[in-house]
Structure 1
Amino acid sequence: MYSKEQASKLKTQFWTSFGQYMKPVPGTSGLPVNWINYKTGIKNIRFRMDADNTKAIVAIEITHANPEERAHYYTQFLSLKTLLENTTGFSWQWDEAAVTGHQTISSISQQLQQVNIFNQSDWPGIISFLKPRIMALDEFWELVKDGF
């Protein structure tokens, strides 16, 4: 087991390494992108990457506090499901009402199981999972963001 401080340090090292690895990679538009803190430009819609001691995840999260607004955005994404999957080349898990801590969100995600961010030998696999998916989401978002 790791102390909170050790765990925090390892996570910071991973995300710093991932950010440095991705820094030279331009977005679909050809412009630089902060891949770690991807900005969709739409309030309450975010692309999130995370990893812990059991899995890595890439997700589109709709975080609007108003359930009707959140459902509206989710329905918009649902109408784009085929385009999302064709553009990214991946199937996604859809959850209209995912509970995260104290908040209900809508989530469209992919997970890589049985990896541990605290095990540095898992980092190449986590990076190989995250990189093509966040880049594919960028490509998809470039096509559809004006509709939001």
Structure 2
Amino acid sequence: MYARNEASQIRQEFWTAFGLYMHPVLSAEGEKINWVNYKTGEKNLHFRMDAGNRSALIAIELRHHDDGLRQIYYEQLLQLKPSLEAHLQESWSWEPAFTDDHGRTISRVVLELDGVSVMRKDDWPKLVSFLKPRIIALDAFWSEARYFFEALRS
């Protein structure tokens, strides 16, 4: 069992190492990018990566406070599902109403990897192998799909 500070330090060490590993990788548009804190440019649409004690996940999260607006964005994402899956080359779980750790209802598209822990440095290569190709694929998808979401703001 790790003390809170030690666990936080190990998590920070992993994300720093992941960021350094991904640093030379350019975005789909050929630009430098902060892969760990990926910015979609849409206020309530996020690409989230998480590595915990028992699993890891990567997700597209829709966190609109307005349920109707969140549903519209989710439906737009559903329309783009064939393109998303073509980029990812796999199917993810689609969750129109998921309760997050803070009790908020969000929509998300997610893939989880069980049986890994960020606390075990021996698992770090598995975590990187899980996250890296998927965040790159999400970036390639987003380089095309973001225009459909920009239209929703008009």
Task: Answer yes or no: is 1:7 the counterpart of 2:7.
Answer: yes
Paired with 2:9 and 2:145, the residues of 1 have a C-alpha distance of 37
What residue in structure 2 maps to residue 139 of structure 1? 140
Task: Answer yes or no: is 1:65 the counterpart of 2:46.
Answer: no
What residue in structure 1 maps to residue 152 of structure 2? none
Paired with 2:35 and 2:87, the residues of 1 have a C-alpha distance of 18
The total of aligned residue pairs comes to 148
What residue in structure 2 maps to residue 120 of structure 1? 121
The Cα offsets for residues 44-90 of structure 1, whole Å up to 9 and x where unpaired, read as 00100001011110100000010000000000001111111012212
Paired with 2:45 and 2:93, the residues of 1 have a C-alpha distance of 16
The Cα offsets for residues 107-146 of structure 1, whole Å up to 9 and x where unpaired, read as 1011111000000000000000000000000000001101
Which deviates more from structure 2 when the two are superposed, residues 93-102 or residues 128-137?
93-102
What residue in structure 2 maps to residue 56 of structure 1? 56
Q: Aligned-pair RMSD on alpha carbons?
A: 0.6
- The one-letter amino acid paired with 1:118 is M
What residue in structure 2 maps to residue 99 of structure 1? 99
TM-score (norm 2): 0.95
User: How far 1:102 sits from its partner (Å)?
Assistant: 2.2
- The one-letter amino acid paired with 1:68 is G
What residue in structure 1 maps to residue 28 of structure 2? 28
The alignment-based identity, stated in percent, is 46
Following superposition, which runs of at least 4 residues in structure 1 exceed 6 angstroms of deviation?
none
What residue in structure 1 maps to residue 84 of structure 2? 84
- The one-letter amino acid paired with 1:121 is D
Paired with 2:87 and 2:134, the residues of 1 have a C-alpha distance of 10
Unaligned runs of at least 5 residues, structure 1: none
Paired with 2:132 and 2:26, the residues of 1 have a C-alpha distance of 12
TM-score (norm 1): 0.98
What residue in structure 2 maps to residue 39 of structure 1? 39
- The one-letter amino acid paired with 2:111 is Q
Paired with 1:140 and 1:41, the residues of 2 have a C-alpha distance of 14
